[in-house]
Amino acid sequence: MLQSEATGDDEMIAVSFRGTIEFSLQDWIADLTYSQIAAYPEFPKLRVHRGFYRAYNHALQEQVLAALAELPDDLPIVVTGAIG
């Protein structure tokens, strides 16, 4: 957990993405065709799973940004997820 040493404040916003659902054929197919892309020119060493990148940009991004807009903007944001 992140914690500010100066204030002892341990509040944060966590954005978490689930990994593969064990019995989801669609998830397993996506995992089998796993490939990473350099999707962000400003971060040349960052690689993103092609399927996740496509899903985030076409469906998830709008939902995530809308949810974040309803939360305090002075808290740190931690993004995490699970791998297969």
Measure the CA dihedral 52/36/43/74, to 10°.
Answer: 20
Q: How does pLDDT run across 17-27, given as a tens digit for each residue?
A: 876 667 777 76
Q: How does pLDDT run across 61-80, given as a tens digit for each residue?
A: 899 999 999 998 899 988 88
- For the cut 50, the answer to whether the pLDDT of residue 2 exceeds it is no
The full 3-state SS of 52-68, as one line of letters, equals HHHHHHHHHHHHHHHHH
Closest CA to 18 of 50, 47, 60, 57: 60
Predicted TM-score (pTM) of this structure: 0.59
| pLDDT attached to residue 40 | 84
Residue 13 forms beta bridges with which residues?
77
Per-residue pLDDT averaged across 20-49, rounded?
77
- For the cut 70, the answer to whether the pLDDT of residue 31 exceeds it is no
CA separation for the pair 33, 14 (Å, rounded): 28
